[in-house]
Amino acid sequence: MRSFKGIALLIITNLLVFLTLAITGNILIHFVLPMIGIDVRGSVATHQFAWAMVFGFGGAFISLLMSKTMVKRSMNMQQVVVPQTEKEALVFNTVKELAEREGINMPEVWVYWDDVPNAFATGPTRNSAMVAVSSGLAMNLSDDELRAVLAHEVGHIANGDMLATTLLQGLMNTFVYFLASMIARAVATVAPGDDEEGGMNFMIYFVVDTILQILFSVLASIVVCWFSRQREFRADAYAADALGADGMIRALRKIEYLSQQSAPIEEGQQDALATLKIYGANGGFVGLFATHPSIDDRVAALQQRYHR
């Protein structure tokens, strides 16, 4: 029953998002843009691009705005407001110290119960963010190592990584929707159909558009994943600048070791929060779709930057 309610809530949420974007798009295209002298209603290409931007950026920003809520509802988490243990105090005070150093609002601090060592930061803005730490990370890392990981996460917030990733994802979504739609429209227009006057065959349009969206989405994800890996290097550098490279390097090595000791994920099980993992994949073709660099690459970058 609980899973059914979750699926129903997801469907309703997506329908509301679609309706919101559809209404917003219509208002933008038919009222707002004409008022400022931009009329795209008579041009198929510009009309399609405007719709692609509405859905591309709209979906990305709605995901960003809902990121904290979705994470909290999907995981067994507890917010740390008044620390009750030494570890909670260490986590809370470290985040507070780094936030004050950056001049940003104190991020929400959350802990969740999972043996897998992990931490992540998310939120719509630098001043409305959260940092979450797994029990496996907090209990297995030394104080210096844990502080380094927390500095890495605050680095994501300070660097504005969540917004930057959203902008890039919105841009990629826009071009995926636009290119797929325009190519599909061109194919469907010249394909044989029921309209004797050369109208568009909507079945062919739908099939071609769907296939191209899948293909272009895969290509776009390579760009987004590349950017994600670069922001991990920047967050590592932030942590090293704030607290020293040694703690960050030791933390990465220990996380790698602990992760290898964790039980493997069951076949077919998907991790919806994979992009929040602090460790990543090795190179090769699979590495193109990794959101995080390998531990070896991250350690090498720190060593090279700080002349170790």
| Catalytic center residues | 153
* Sheet-wide strand order for 119-125: 77-79, 108-112, 128-134, 119-125
Distances (CA, A) of 50 to 53, 139, 205, 219, 295: 5, 50, 19, 22, 41
Cα(176)–Cα(55) distance, integer angstroms: 11
Three-state DSSP state, 140: helix
Of 172, 173, 197, 201, nearest in space to 185 by CA = 201
Cα(281)–Cα(4) distance, integer angstroms: 34
Cα(151)–Cα(231) distance, integer angstroms: 14
Neighbours of 8 (CB within 10 A): 10
